[in-house]
Amino acid sequence: MVLRWLRVLAGVTLIVLGVLFALAFEARYWRWRDCFNELGRCYDPVSQDVYLEQAGMVWGGLAALSLLAGLYLVVRLRRRSG
């Protein structure tokens, strides 16, 4: 019973982290995907931030892995109980 709750907690935590990583992906890469130059950089003169194209792979990869792992744990638990 305790192990089941730990798996549920781990699954939900991974899903929440996946959503947060997806929000970071959207804010750091997706909004600026048309702005990147040949060096993979985009400068925003309003906020004076430099966005890197590589951030899309990092944040997107973390989001995908976290969401998939969390969904796997939750679906596996539902199949066992049902």
Say what the pTM is: 0.85
Question: What would the mean pLDDT of 48-55 be, rounded to a whole number?
Answer: 93
Nearest to 15 by CA among 59, 68, 70: 70
Q: CA 27 → CA 5, 73, 76, distances in Å? A: 33, 28, 32
Share of the chain above pLDDT 90, in %: 79
C-alpha to C-alpha distance for 55 and 17, rounded to whole angstroms: 17
* pLDDT greater than 90 at residue 1: no
- Tell me the pLDDT band of 82, cut-offs 50, 70 and 90: low
Q: Say which residue, 47 or 79, is predicted with more confidence.
A: 47
Question: Residue 4: what pLDDT?
Answer: 85
